[in-house]
């Protein structure tokens, strides 16, 4: 395998790593959206429960009902606090995945640039060799023609 082929393989591997990082980021973003949806449901449910409580209070409530309502609201508040922790953790994972994607993109870009430079250098060497061969052939023809005309022979 030539060095250029090896380098192209390294670029492919870096691209695969980058694609995996992008996929992982997308998965984390989907999970974040699901966690946010759960938070929205909890908050909506808490607002509905508070609205029901307000309506019920206008009719009058006994101590036992008040006690149960407070317990219920504490559970909802606890669930919301827990979900805030989940959202925070998800955001940290997303931030980490984004950094991995950025690093992988930087690696791919650097490797591609290096591969392009190597390919360009290889092409320049090939062009120089071709030019050298052409120059040598032209010189050879010129020398033969000069020798032939010096000896009075027509080419």
| Lowest-confidence region among 17-21, 64-68, 79-83 | 64-68
DSSP assigned state of 115: H
Give the pLDDT of residue 128: 95
Task: Report the pLDDT averaged over residues 128-149.
Answer: 90
Going from the C-alpha of 114 to that of each of 9, 11, 49, 107, the distances in angstroms are 13, 10, 62, 10
Q: What does R_g of the chain's alpha carbons equal in angstroms?
A: 37
Q: What pLDDT, in 10s, does the model give residues 26-52?
A: 999 999 999 999 999 999 999 999 998
The domain spans of the chain are 3-128
pTM passes above 0.75: no
Give the pLDDT of residue 153: 60
Residues listed for the chain: 155
Give the pLDDT of residue 53: 86
Average pLDDT of every residue of the chain: 91
CATH code for the domain defined by 3-128: 1.10.287.1700
Q: Is the per-residue pLDDT at 154 higher than 60? A: no
Of 107, 91, 86, the closest CA to residue 39 belongs to 86
Task: Report the pLDDT averaged over residues 10-23.
Answer: 95
Extract the tokens encoding 94. Answer: 């997303």
């Amino acid at each position: 395998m030539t060095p250029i082929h090896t380098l192209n393989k390294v670029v492919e591997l870096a691209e695969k790593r980058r694609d995996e990082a992008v996929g992982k980021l997308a998965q984390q973003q989907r999970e974040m959206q699901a966690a946010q949806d759960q938070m929205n449901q909890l908050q909506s449910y808490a607002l509905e429960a508070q609205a029901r409580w307000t309506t019920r209070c206008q009719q009058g409530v006994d101590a036992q009902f008040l006690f149960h309502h407070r317990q219920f609201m504490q559970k909802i508040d606890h669930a919301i606090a827990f979900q805030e922790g989940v959202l925070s953790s998800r955001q940290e994972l997303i931030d980490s995945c984004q950094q991995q994607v950025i690093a992988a993109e930087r690696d791919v870009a650097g490797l591609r640039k290096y591969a392009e430079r190597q390919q360009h250098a290889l092409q320049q060497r090939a062009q120089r060799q071709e030019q050298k061969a052409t120059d040598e052939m032209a010189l050879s023809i010129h020398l033969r023609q000069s020798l032939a005309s010096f000896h009075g022979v027509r080419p």
